[in-house]
Amino acid sequence: MAQLRSLSLGFDTVVVAGIDAKLREVEANHHVRILLAIESGSRGWGFPSPDSDYDCRFIHVRPQSDYLSLYPPRDVIEYPPDAIYDVNGWDLVKTLKLLLKGNAVVLEWLTSPWVYRGDARFRAEALALAAQVVQPAAIAMHYLHLGERQRETAFADGSDVRLKKLFYVLRPALALRWMRLHPGAAIVPMAFRTLVAESDVSADCTVIIGDLLTRKAETREMGHGTMPREIGTLIDTEFGLAREHWPEPGTRPQAEAIRLADAFFRRWVSGT
């Protein structure tokens, strides 16, 4: 079984050791097997601030008997976050159900460049399954609803807001743009700089985004301000085009997708 381990040189070694210990604790205390543990959030996307916490996310599987219980354990294992650590994970059942519904977070976990630990075969097979069962329209709707919610919350009235919040609106908009420019593709690049580079962004927007990335990497507080006009136009344009282009996906996955996900689940819960 090939084990994955890929972490940025910029990661704090003491914090990483703490995460490794927490993952061992999860397996020992909850009697689960961790299939993949990655860094998500701003570090995973590639735009951390100097004070960004560490968002470790993991996918775990339980013994077969747990899935046959009348009262199965929770499908989430989570610890209260603090200023440094934010560690939690999903059961494989929850992960697969969300994948079938078009939850893009699952795809981001599977493609994160930073891996604390993981089974290489599991990640490869999970990505192969995703390519077979994920509906691009469902992923697009995920990013559209996420982006519009963030837009409405932080930037609706045009007043000054914390500029770091801009990334949480811009990234979904760029994901939608990337999908529009790559018809049929549903697995959006996790790394923000790659996403920008592959989204044919205008020269003006590229300069503004580069400046924002530099400022976010160098300072704990980017300050307050209004959304740059060029960025606002890009975001609103992509949200509008997405509403025109993408149909609302069905509420239930197709039978073949369910069959493939069931087979995948049985294979990994049995350890074969």
Domain 3-134+256-269: CATH architecture, name and number where available: 2-Layer Sandwich (3.30)
SS (H, E, C) 227-264: CCHHHHHHHHHHHHHHHHHCCCCCCCCCHHHHHHHHHH
SS (H, E, C) the chain: CCEEEECCCCCCHHHHHHHHHHHHHHHHHHCCEEEEEEECHHHHHCCCCCCCCEEEEEEEECCHHHHHCCCCCCCEEECCCCCCEEEEEEEHHHHHHHHHHCCHHHHHHHHCCCEEEEEHHHHHHHHHHHHHHCCHHHHHHHHHHHHHHHHHHHHCCCCCEEHHHHHHHHHHHHHHHHHHHCCCCCCCCCCHHHHHHCCCCCHHHHHHHHHHHHHHHHCCCCCEECCCHHHHHHHHHHHHHHHHHCCCCCCCCCHHHHHHHHHHHHHHHCCC
**What is the predicted pLDDT for the residue at 234?**
96
pLDDT in 10s for each residue of the chain, 272 residues: 689 999 998 999 999 999 999 999 999 999 999 999 999 999 999 988 888 899 999 999 999 999 999 999 999 999 999 989 999 999 999 999 999 999 999 999 999 999 999 999 999 999 999 999 999 999 999 999 999 998 888 777 666 667 778 899 999 999 999 999 999 999 999 999 999 999 999 999 999 999 888 888 887 665 677 788 899 999 999 999 999 988 876 667 889 999 999 999 999 998 76
**What is the predicted pLDDT for the residue at 179?**
97
Domain ranges in the chain? 3-134+256-269, 136-245
**What is the predicted pLDDT for the residue at 228?**
87
